[in-house]
Structure 1
Amino acid sequence: AGQARRLAFQPGSATTSSVDSPLPVPVLAVDQYGNVAAGSPAMDVEVRLTGTQVGGAGRLSLSNGEGTASVTSQRPQTVELSFLDTYNTNLDVSATRALTFSVGAATKVAMAVPASTNVGSPVSVDLTSLDQYGNEVPSSASITVRVTGAATVSNSGIATLSGGRASIVLRSTKA
């Protein structure tokens, strides 16, 4: 391989992940023919990312023409990875890659309960399935809601989520 001319992404590398997992992005310094410039001296480039609540931007070191950026996102979104030649490598750093993050696995259920109600009156409680970062997860799982004290819950407390949401009715039997 010849002298490194530009940055490129390893062909066939993954471009999708969930918010639960970092996405490794192999980056290559290649010659004019697209071959990895394995004999290149160690160099640094700056990784730039678009999107909200993303991680992995900053300095990326390449050794023997190879390096790996590790990109994370706490939100389901498409993140664009690009480079900046902050460290004066004189490489063509115009390559970009779109990375897509989906919601993570459901880890909790949020309950939306009215602030107050009258004894004996039914109260609708909205349930929403969430991942570790609070993103809605379109789950169809069945969950059991248990209440303690002087209250009853509809359907024996079993709520089946549809698109990650369900409602259940509570009734207080004592003030």
Structure 2
Amino acid sequence: MPLAVLLVGITGSGKTTVAQALADHDYKRLSVDEEVHRLHGRYGVDYPEHTYFERQRPVVEAIRARLVKELEAGNDVVLDHGLWLRKERDAWQQTAREAGGQPVVVYLPAGREELLERLAQRNQREDANALTVTPEALDDFIARFDLPADDETVIVYAGDLDALTAALSEVRHRRV
């Protein structure tokens, strides 16, 4: 049964770094932000920030369809998308199950100060994963983020990729 790794974390928490590392381990990486960037340019630069979600919506559905296709083909997938809301996480897990995959939620915790430091560095770049985020926007993001609840099964990523790949391997072997 292929794995569907669903990354959960605030902007700047390291989701893209983890997703890229898992892609090096033969996971198919699906990135909402990169697809929005490819279609529309830079957030807050090439289009107004307040239009992001209307631009993102069709991209999310296209990525969902790709996730289904990859899982149905037997490929492991990593979703590089924040999944800030519990209902989003639940919906993506259901999609993965219906496509014959085993969803695995991986939470990337990061404190506000750590996020501000990472974002200050990232805000200097111009690539698809360099959304310019102000401290005020970050505070808004944090306020809207649903921390994983006690009844959610999650792997907490603590910065050790080897530990994460071992945990994913354990999930795979438990389910086979």
TM-score by length of 1: 0.22
Q: Whose helix fraction is larger, Structure 1's or Structure 2's?
A: 2
Instruction: Return the index of the structure with the highest Cα Rg.
Output: 1
Q: Whose strand fraction is larger, Structure 1's or Structure 2's?
A: 1
For CA contacts below 8 A with separation 6 or more, give which structure has more relative contact order.
2
